[in-house]
Amino acid sequence: MITQAPRGTYDATPNENATFRSDVLHRLEDHFFAVMARYGYGEVRTPMFEHTELFSRTSGDTSEVVNKQMYSFTDKGDRSVTLKPEGTAPAVRAYLDAKLGAQGGVTRLCYQTAIFRYERPQKGRYRQAHQFGLELFGSSQPDADAEIIEATIEFYRAIGLRDTVVLLNCIGRAESRARFREALAAYLAPWLPDQSEEIKMLADRNPLRLFDQKDPKVNEFMAGAPVVTDHLEDASRAHFDTLQALLTEAGVGYELRPEIVRGLDYYTDTVFEVHSTLLGAQGALCGGGRYDNLVKEVGGPATPGVGVGMGVERAYIVLEAQGDLPPMPGLNVFVVAATEDAWPTVRTLCRALRASGLSVQYDVEGKNLKGQMKQADRMRAQWAVILGTDELAAGQATIKNLATGEQRQVPQSEIAATVGA
Ligand code: HAM
């Protein structure tokens, strides 16, 4: 028997001891879509797999995601397809395919998706992880960047995360990066010959990535390196300054961090992550930024964009570390037959109470009174509604508050109102 989920994946279940409780994940989803509806984001659902080229062309050939982590396979029609490692390129493709930008103006999309990356699994890092995402197409204004960051923080606030910090950077565009590369190359020159082949390759092809390496020695050296924000073009500088002013106006705190450069290559100008100290090594709750060349790269007209991907499991882990997971939800009512003649009325009453919006069960196993009361406890019911020969004759029911043990009789027609529907 194979009962274990594949390495780096998990089952979410309605079980108090589950690593990820499905009821909590559901609540996070509800909060996400409720918050984003207030910002007017419409949901996009894209396929679990895409043509491999969509990711290899957009994530960048020096990104770990493309080089080492994609779940790619050739299907029976001899096409290379890939389980989506991220949500942005598929959202861009769907935006173009559905012609969402045809009327011009700004398009706001949100999504919830599984992502697949062949990573080394550990707490907070999975091979099938899940993201909440936002993508805003059609505006190059810093207001759009600010909205994405503000909505992200609003979501974290709504679910009750504390002590999060926004780490912000601007990585410029082609011209500023060319200038920056020159300055960086001069700094790297005496150091580079002693470094690994991978570091040499990055220095040559994507030197920004040297800022987010895992090796502490590299980090120590890069801490003294010139930073891209000292080489920004005027437009990028102005965009970055305005964004900071907008965040301050919105009451969103941030720290400027040159080491935030992001692992995917499609970003231009703004990049950011939100971190939590409660996440340990996997510190990023989310990451995002601006990608003004991506829509064109995928085959559409030049269209600016900005977005964010938030790790669902990481938000869960922080909530849990705060001690703030909600209690397991229970039933409102468990309807109990105290005598054999009550079963038909038990079933009828269940239907009526459900129709009034309550969550209700009875014991389909037909156990005795003690067995039914035990089941009511197991289901964390708030109330037991007990029907026996006497109650049936009087059109009444005994309702028992299972938390306090208090009980009294009420007319059957008043149960829903009494227990709080
Ligand atoms: P990303 O930084 O690769 O960006 O992922 C965003 C977030 O997803 C991370 O900060 C983390 O919380 C979560 N995440 C990523 N990989 C894993 C994993 N293996 N296990 C658990 N959580 C993970 C993107 O994916 C971009 N598409 C974000 C974006 C949207 N940029 C613009 N729009």
pLDDT tens, residue by residue, 315-341: 999 999 999 999 999 999 999 999 999
| Cα torsion through 74, 75, 81, 83, rounded to 10 | -110
Looking at residue 46, its pLDDT comes to 98
Domain edge (last residue) among 262, 297, 322: 322
One-character DSSP codes across 186-232: HHHTTTGGGS-HHHHHHHHH-GGGGGG-S-HHHHHHHTTS--GGGG-
Looking at residue 68, its pLDDT comes to 85
Q: What mean pLDDT do residues 243-268 have?
A: 93
What is the extent of the structural domain holding 356?
333-419
CATH number at residue 401: 3.40.50.800
Tell me the CA–centroid distance for residue 288 and ligand 1, in Å.
8
| Domain annotation covers residue 194 | no
- Whether the full predicted model's pTM is greater than 0.85, yes or no, is yes
141 and 86 in a common domain:
yes
Find out whether 303 and 106 touch, Cβ atoms under 8 Å.
no
State the closest ligand 1 atom to the C-alpha of 65, by its place in the atom list counted from 1: 3
Looking at residue 421, its pLDDT comes to 61
Contacts of 293 (CB under 8 A, 6+ apart): 266, 268, 302
CA quadruple 111, 113, 118, 120: dihedral sign: positive
Ligand 1 pocket test, candidate residues 131, 279, 285, 313, most atoms within 8 A of CB = 131
State the closest ligand 1 atom to the C-alpha of 133, by its place in the atom list counted from 1: 30
Distances, alpha carbon 352 to alpha carbons 11, 375, 400, 412, 414, in Å: 34, 21, 18, 10, 11
Residue type, 386: I
158 and 243 in a common domain:
yes
Instruction: Kindly report which listed range (35-49, 208-222, 224-238, 354-368) carries the lowest average pLDDT score.
Output: 208-222
Ligand 1 pocket test, candidate residues 264, 276, 278, 316, most atoms within 8 A of CB = 264
SS3 of 364, please? Answer: coil
Domain edge (last residue) among 278, 295, 322: 322
Looking at residue 90, its pLDDT comes to 97
Distances, alpha carbon 144 to alpha carbons 270, 297, 363, in Å: 11, 21, 54
Q: What mean pLDDT do residues 88-112 have?
A: 97
Q: Give the Cα separation of 400 and 386 in Å (integer).
A: 8
340 and 272 in a common domain:
no
262 and 149 in a common domain:
yes
Confidence of residue 414 (pLDDT cuts 50, 70, 90): very high
Q: What mean pLDDT do residues 290-318 have?
A: 97
302 and 402 in a common domain:
no
One-character DSSP codes across 298-315: HTS----EEEEEEEHHHH
Q: Which residues of 313-352 are buried (b: 16+ CB within 10 A; e: fewer)?
A: bbbbbbbeeeeeeeeeeebbbbbbbbeeebeebbeebbee
Q: Give the Cα separation of 97 and 82 in Å (integer).
A: 19
Inform me whether the pLDDT recorded for 151 exceeds 70: yes
Of all protein residues, whose CA lies closest to atom 1 belonging to ligand 1? 287
How high does pLDDT run on average in the chain? 94
Domain edge (last residue) among 322, 352, 381: 322
| Domain annotation covers residue 2 | no
CATH number at residue 123: 3.30.930.10
Tell me the CA–centroid distance for residue 5 and ligand 1, in Å.
22
Q: Give the Cα separation of 256 and 330 in Å (integer).
A: 45
Residue type, 213: Q
244 and 295 in a common domain:
yes
One-character DSSP codes across 64-82: HHHHH---EEE-TTS-EEE
Residue with tokens 């406890």: 377
| Domain annotation covers residue 27 | yes
Tell me the CA–centroid distance for residue 29 and ligand 1, in Å.
16
Tell me the CA–centroid distance for residue 148 and ligand 1, in Å.
15
397 and 262 in a common domain:
no
166 and 80 in a common domain:
yes
Q: What mean pLDDT do residues 182-209 have?
A: 90
Q: What is the pLDDT of residues 379-403, one digit of tens each?
A: 999 999 999 999 999 999 999 999 9
373 and 302 in a common domain:
no
| Domain annotation covers residue 197 | no
Total domain count, the chain: 2
Of all protein residues, whose CA lies closest to atom 15 belonging to ligand 1? 311
| C-beta 311 within 6 A of ligand 1 | yes
Inform me whether the pLDDT recorded for 1 exceeds 80: no
Q: Give the Cα separation of 236 and 239 in Å (integer).
A: 5
Share of residues in the chain with pLDDT > 90 (%): 84
Residue 336 parent element (H or E) = strand 333-337
Q: What mean pLDDT do residues 70-91 have?
A: 97
Structure tokens at 399: 């309702």
| Domain annotation covers residue 7 | no
Query: In three state form, how does the secondary structure of 91-133 look?
Result: HHHHHHHCCCCCCCCCEEEEEEEEEECCCCCECCECCEEEEEE
Ligand 1 pocket test, candidate residues 83, 84, 286, 318, most atoms within 8 A of CB = 286
Inform me whether the pLDDT recorded for 249 exceeds 90: yes
291 DSSP assignment:
-
SS3 of 145, please? Answer: helix
Q: What mean pLDDT do residues 112-119 have?
A: 97
Structure tokens at 247: 């965040």
| C-beta 287 within 6 A of ligand 1 | yes
Inform me whether the pLDDT recorded for 82 exceeds 70: yes
| C-beta 265 within 6 A of ligand 1 | no
